[in-house]
Structure formats: structure tokens, C-alpha cells
Structure 1
């Protein structure tokens, strides 16, 4: 790695300024399009930040899938420079010694663009928090603690981004970084729902307690499935099974659960430092596949439950389930093409956003439950 320090803060200010310049475009657009209405500005900024965070999650997946995570082996810059252009000599030397290695000019640019975009999203979230606190005395529709929590979380997410590089793609850290990005997406989705309630002058929709219970179960299972999917991706276990619904010609292939789910270990190694076996990779893949059957059934049932009270959310949920099935199957039978892989991540991120939307758009209504409705009919009789 050319004896480059893992942390070199020399280019930190220039990287931050690059993120600020990128963020100025969206900020100017929001302020100009919503002049004279602070509430509309906050709502537009929240929605735009949500959209760009979704894009950032996808670009993070692209960075990982193109093996660009170590394109610049130090943080926050690239060989102590604010861009790969300033590190041309070092990158060329590393690429000459390992032409297909982790450091190439193309991978360095992918990694640095990801960092620039992440910094820009951080600037937008900082602006959102400051603007919400500024509007507090004027009756801000969203509690300023929501964007403050989001700001704290994006700082934590940045720390995990640094650890992803300095710990050389440690699977547990990379998976937590992915989950952190989706938590950020969920926090922004919750704020977007609050702004929507204020804009239309109405609150959450009452749904039966049973539907609310299915929603809670589905949301919890989705996070588990996302974690399993991240574990598959960060351990490069997608191709351990190249057929569906069987795997390696068997309904229950040879698997090593213990080594596969040893959490604190280097990439490709067991917790004991030995090479990770194919059976361990198979166990990682198959666990995600088995869990997907349960998640699909629960979320499919949830979509049916929501059909009458929250029709838009029900349709989004059903459509995304089909999308996930199609992209997941494509990853297996087509040999993990990058378009299908990024699309699968997009579907998972969209499901997190939709279920967050559904959660904050609804609340349990005891009077709407089948038992309560039957009791009312009996009393009226």
C-alpha cells in the first residue's frame, strides 16, 4: 500500500469543500422553488435529501460490487490527496504491481465519488437540522430532534465508512455500514411522512390491530433479511448456489453454519484465521434464501391486510416483493450481473422506505378490529 497511512487528514478540508459545492446545487434549487414558504422549503429539502440518500445507498452498493471499496486505501482522501488526480503516480504504481488488484484508477474514482456524494448528503442533513431548529419558534411541523438524530446518525455512518476502508472490508463493518445507510433512509422517510401530514392537514390512518401487528412483524423480519443479504454480499457468497430453488443439486446442500456466521473475522477467513470454506459460503447464501420465503409470505400477507385502508402502500409493497424475487433470482441464475445486484439492493432500500412510510402513516385502531366490530353489531342488535 506504498506505506500510506490509513488515516491522513491532510485533504479532509478539501474533500469537505467538494461535498459542500455538490450540495449547493440541490440547496439552491429547493430555496428558489419554494421561496416565501419555510414549511414548503423544509418539506422539499427533506424529500430531496431522502431521494439523494437512496441514490447514495445504491452507489455504495455499486462501489462494493465493483470491488472499489479499497480503490483509495486511506481515508478521507486518496493517498493524502483530495482526488485521484493528485495521486496518479501512487495509483499507477499500485496498478502496475497488481493490474486486477483493489487499487486502479477507475476504482479510485468510484470510491472517491462515493465519498464526495456522502459528504454532500451530510451537508444537506446538517442544513435540514439547522433549518428545523430555526423554524422551531415559528411552529415547525417536525420536531427538531428528528433531524438532529439523523445528523448524529450520518456522523456515525461516516465513521463506519472510514472503518470500511481502514479495516480492509471487514465483513461485519461493511454489513453494519449498509444497515446504517438504510437506517438513515428510514429516519428521513419518517420525517417526510410528518411533513406530508402537515401539508394535507390530517394525521395517521387508523388500521385494525391485526394489520398493525403484521406490519410490526414484517418490518422486523425485513431488517433481519437485509442483514442476511448484506452478509451474503460482503462475503461474496451469492454464487455459492447457482440454481433455484435447489442449491448444488440438493434441497439441503453441505453447509458450515458455524464458520459462515462467525461475525468478527477478516474477509475470506474464519474467526480462527483459516480460509473460509465453500460450505461456509453455502450456509451464508442458503440462510438468506430460507429467510426470504418467510419474509415474502409475511409481507405478502401484510400487503393483503393493507389493501382497503392503505391502498397505495399495499400496491408498492406487492410490486417491490415481485421486484425482489425477480432480481434475486437473476443474481443466482445469471451469475450475479451488476445490474441485477444493484437492483436487488434498490428493492431492499425501497422496502425499508415503504414500510417506514406505512408505519408512520398508520396507527392501531381497537374499534377497527374484527372483534370490536362484532361486539358493536351485537350491542346494536
Structure 2
């Protein structure tokens, strides 16, 4: 048998459809996180309308004649979005092609992700044609975060994981924290798309919107810290869950520190604003991964402890 493997290395290196799809999903997750960071940079650099047309930029694929920092940010943002779009098409296609060898839910989840990215592309076009209308820009961010979490759910559901069965209420606490972080991110997107902080400092306008974001920090922060405390108080918890909880705690502390700095500097330091958005997306991703794995841990333990009657016939 060993000689056969040596003579035919493809036997030992063959990648299963599940592994291939999981690798694609992780690559798409990273690309989406980068896309959201670039989108934030595009907004704070006032580059949202640097390309006046859509989907091309100045009527070309690569606007070399008009290229500057603002045009590059908007153009690269669209390029990354297009790559993710093709990746989502590949994900859906592979999931349906190999559906006999994959979990039954996977093709439908991949199709849902593809639908989100198509909707995201439509919103991206509308942000240009509607001249950065705040509700469209906020919906653009919300859809990107939803696509990101969908990819993470797929990836974490397919990765090898064997839990300890000692999660208790951690899945529900983590799910609550993830939902609160998502909602707070939407409020933050609303603040950013309306330039509420600038308008409040400059003319005492939209201060209610800004203050709602500041007050909204409390629920997701408390919920995330509850995840950390719950993880440390749960004995024999899987090390991966404990590490994810620790990283969630680090992210929420870093997010508050960056948010305070951004507020006191009146959004004058663009990298801080971009970092604020990136940490929020990272925190949401960590909590999503923690939630999925914790539910897998809980459900697998329930299944393994289910009593199956033995027939004596």
C-alpha cells in the first residue's frame, strides 16, 4: 500500500470537495474583511464618488489617466468586490455540483451568500448613482456584514471540530452579543454615512444620531464581556472557544479605545476611523465563529447522549 501511494502521489494529496469549498470560503472571508476596510477608507477619504460612473471608472477598466489616491481607493474597492463576486459564483457552483458529497444545507447557504453579493453589487451601483445617499450607504455596509457572517457560518460549520459538551448557555450569550454588535455597526454606519459627528461638532445637527451610537456601545460591550466571563467560568471548555472569547474581549476593549480617540480627535485621523470599522467587523466575525462552534459543541453533545432503544426481537 505504501508503495502504491509513493508511485501515485495524487492519492495522498487529493483534496475533497468539502476541503476545497472550505478553503474558498476562508479566502472569501479575508477578502470581504479587506473590502470593508477599503470601503471605510474610501468613505473617510471622500473617495466615494471618485469614479463618477459605474460599473466602469471614467469609462475604462483601469483609469490610468485619472489615477490618484482617491480614484485608486474607489477603483480598488470595486476590483475587490468583483473578485469576491466571482468567488461567490464559484462557491455556489461548486456546492451544487458536488451536492451529493456535501451537507444538504450547503448549496442553499451558498446560494443565499451569492444572492447577498448580487444585492450588494446593486447597492454599490446605487451609492454612486444616488450620490452617496445615507440610507443606501448604510444598507451597503449592513449587507456586507451579513455576507461576511454568512461565510463564517459556512466555514465554521464545515471545519473539523469535536467539542467537550461543556458550553452551557454560552452559545446563546454569544449569539446575543453578535446580534448587538451587528446592530451597533449599523448605527455606526448611519453615523458615518450622514457625517453626524462632523455636523454635531460643527452646527449641533444630527447629535441625536451620534449620541445613539455612543449610548449604543453599552449593550454589545456588556454582552461581549459576559461572553468572556462565561467562557472563563465554564470548566473544561474547548480551548478554541476560550481563545475566541479572549479575542472578543480584546477587540471590544480596543474598539472602545479607538472610538474614544476618534471622537476626541473629531475624525481628523483617517487611519483611526478605518481601524474602528475594521475592529468592529473583526469582533462580529469572532463572535459569529464562537456562536457557531458553541452550538455545534452543544448539539453534538446532545446527540451523543441521546438514548436509542435496543430491540430484543
Q: Out of 171, 184, 187, which is 2:150 matched to?
A: 187
For 1:217 and 1:278, locate their aligned partners in 2 and report how far apart those are by CA, in whole Å: 36
Residues 1:349 and 2:274 are matched in the alignment: no
For 2:101 and 2:277, locate their aligned partners in 1 and report how far apart those are by CA, in whole Å: 39
The answer (yes or no) to whether the contact 1:171–1:234 under 8 Å persists in 2 is yes
Determine the structure 2 residue equivalent to 1:76.
55
Q: Out of 116, 126, 129, which is 1:166 matched to?
A: 129
For 2:111 and 2:155, locate their aligned partners in 1 and report how far apart those are by CA, in whole Å: 15
Determine the structure 2 residue equivalent to 1:375.
none
Determine the structure 2 residue equivalent to 1:234.
193
For 2:149 and 2:36, locate their aligned partners in 1 and report how far apart those are by CA, in whole Å: 12
Structure 1 residue 71 displacement after superposition: 0.5
Q: What CA RMSD, in Å, does the superposition of the two structures yield over aligned residues? A: 2.4
TM, length-normalised to structure 2: 0.82
Q: Deviations over 1:25-67 (max 9, x none)?
A: xxxxxxxxx7543332222111111111111111111111111
The answer (yes or no) to whether the contact 2:200–2:210 under 8 Å persists in 1 is yes
1:1-381 to 2 correspondence within 5 Å? 35-85=14-64, 88=65, 105-140=68-103, 143-196=106-159, 199-200=160-161, 202=162, 207-209=167-169, 211-239=170-198, 278-307=203-232, 308=234, 309=237, 310-336=241-267, 337-363=269-295
Structure 1 residue 204 displacement after superposition: 8.9
TM, length-normalised to structure 1: 0.68
The answer (yes or no) to whether the contact 1:204–1:362 under 8 Å persists in 2 is no
The answer (yes or no) to whether the contact 1:240–1:285 under 8 Å persists in 2 is no
5+ residue gaps, structure 2? 1-12, 302-313
For 1:353 and 1:39, locate their aligned partners in 2 and report how far apart those are by CA, in whole Å: 21
Cα separation, partners in 2 of 1:299 and 1:141, compared to 1, 3 Å:
same
For 1:190 and 1:143, locate their aligned partners in 2 and report how far apart those are by CA, in whole Å: 10
For 1:331 and 1:139, locate their aligned partners in 2 and report how far apart those are by CA, in whole Å: 46
Q: Deviations over 1:131-187 (max 9, x none)?
A: 121221224586211111101110000000001000001001001101111111000
Q: More helix by proportion, 1 or 2?
A: 2
3-state SS in 1 of match to 2:205: helix
Higher RCO, Cα 8 Å, sep 6+: 2
5+ residue gaps, structure 1? 1-33, 92-103, 243-276, 369-381
For 2:165 and 2:258, locate their aligned partners in 1 and report how far apart those are by CA, in whole Å: 32
3-state SS in 1 of match to 2:52: coil
3-state SS in 2 of match to 1:306: helix
